[in-house]
Structure 1
Amino acid sequence: MVASYASAQSAPAGDAARGTRSRDAPSTNGLDTWDANHDGIYTCEEWKSYLDRLFTLADRNRDGHLDPSEFPIIRRAGTAFADADFGYFDENQDGKITRSEFVDKPSEFILQFDKNGDCRVTQDEMKGPSTDQKPPSGRGRKF
C-alpha cells in the first residue's frame, strides 16, 4: 500500500552537502495517492499527512524516531524514495530522524507549482511550464 503512496512522487534529487532528497510530484498514472480526497488539488496538509503515514510505517519499534536500520523501509516505499539519503532527513545529524524532521520537510512540488502561495496546487497552476520562480525565502516556509 505504501508503494502506491510513493507513486505520487517524482524522482529524487539532491545536493552533495545534504545528500539525496525526495522530490514529490503527482503521479502521471492517475493514482494521485497523496491527494487524500482525490480532488486534484495538492495541499501542504495532504503532503504532511502522507509523510506521517510513511513515518509510522517505517518506525517499526515505535520509539518515535527512525534509525538507519529502519530507513530502508522509506526507500522501499516507492521509486521516489529509492535513493533518499538518511542525512537529508536527519537535519541535526544526530543519527536519528524524528517525526518532525521527516513530516515537516516541505514539498518541493508545492514549492514549485504553488504560484499564489496558498499551500495548494490546483490543476490550473500545474498547466504549462512552470516559469514562475519562488523567491529563495519561500523555500524556508513551514507547512
Structure 2
Amino acid sequence: MKSPLIASALLFLLATQAGAADASFLEDWDLDSDGAITLEELEKFRGKVFQTFDTNQDGVLDSAEYTVFDQARADAAEKNPSALLQRAVHGLSRTSTDLNLDGQVTREEFAQALLAWFRTHDRDNDGVLSPGDF
C-alpha cells in the first residue's frame, strides 16, 4: 500500500509543478502545449491521480482511499491557496463523485464527475479550458 504522505505529495506536485499561480494549471495539464486543455488531456492527467489513490488497484476508491484523496487535496490547497486548488478540494469531494451513494467511487463515477467539472469550468463552452476560463 502506498504511503498517504507519498500520495499527498504526488497530488501537490501534479497540481503545482510550474508554480503557485492558477496559470500553471494550463502549463502542467496542457499535454500538447497548444495553450488549451482538452477533456482528453484532463482525463489522462486525472487518470494518473485516480491510479495513485486507488492503492489496491481495484478500480474503486473505497472509503479509506477516498479519505486519503480528500486529505491530499486539502493539504495541497493549504500549501498553495490558489483558486484552482480550492475548486479541486470542493469539486472532487466524495459527495460530488459518489453518484450512487454507496460509499465508493468507481472510475466511471470519477470520470462523470470530471466531465461535470470540465463543463462547469469551460465558461465559454468552446470544448477546451484556456486562460479565459480561469
Q: Deviations over 1:53-103 (max 9, x none)?
A: 111000001111001100133231432244553222100001110001112
Residue 92 (structure 2) pairs with residue 87 (structure 1) = no
* 1:116-135 → structure 2 map (5 Å cutoff): 117-123=125-131, 126=132
Q: What is the TM-score normalised by the length of structure 2? A: 0.63
Counterpart amino acid of 1:6? A
Q: Within 1, Cα distance between the matches of 2:123 and 2:93?
A: 26
Structure 1 stretches of 4+ moved >3 Å: 28-31, 81-84, 107-114
**Contact 1:43/1:110, CA 8 A, preserved across alignment:** no
Q: Within 1, Cα distance between the matches of 2:52 and 2:104?
A: 16
The count of corresponding residues between Structure 1 and Structure 2 is 108
Q: Within 1, Cα distance between the matches of 2:104 and 2:95?
A: 9
**Contact 2:39/2:118, CA 8 A, preserved across alignment:** no
* 1:80-119 → structure 2 map (5 Å cutoff): 80=85, 81-82=88-89, 84-105=92-113, 106=115, 108=117, 110-115=119-124, 117-119=125-127
* Equivalent in the alignment of 1:134: none
* 1:31-70 → structure 2 map (5 Å cutoff): 32-70=27-65
Percent identity reads 25
Classify the secondary structure of the residue corresponding to 2:27: coil
Q: Within 1, Cα distance between the matches of 2:23 and 2:98?
A: 30
Q: Deviations over 1:83-142 (max 9, x none)?
A: 553222100001110001112322545534452x4422345xx18xx9xxxxxxxxxxxx
Unaligned runs of 5+ in 2: 1-9, 78-84
Counterpart amino acid of 2:41? E
Q: Deviations over 1:10-42 (max 9, x none)?
A: xxxxxxxxxxxxxxxx82347732222233211
**Greater percentage in helix:** 2
Unaligned runs of 5+ in 1: 9-25, 131-143
Q: Within 2, Cα distance between the matches of 1:40 and 1:86?
A: 30
**Contact 1:42/1:110, CA 8 A, preserved across alignment:** no
Residue 13 (structure 2) pairs with residue 4 (structure 1) = yes
CA 1:53 to 1:30, structure 2 compared with 1: closer, same or farther past 3 Å? closer
CA 1:39 to 1:4, structure 2 compared with 1: closer, same or farther past 3 Å? farther
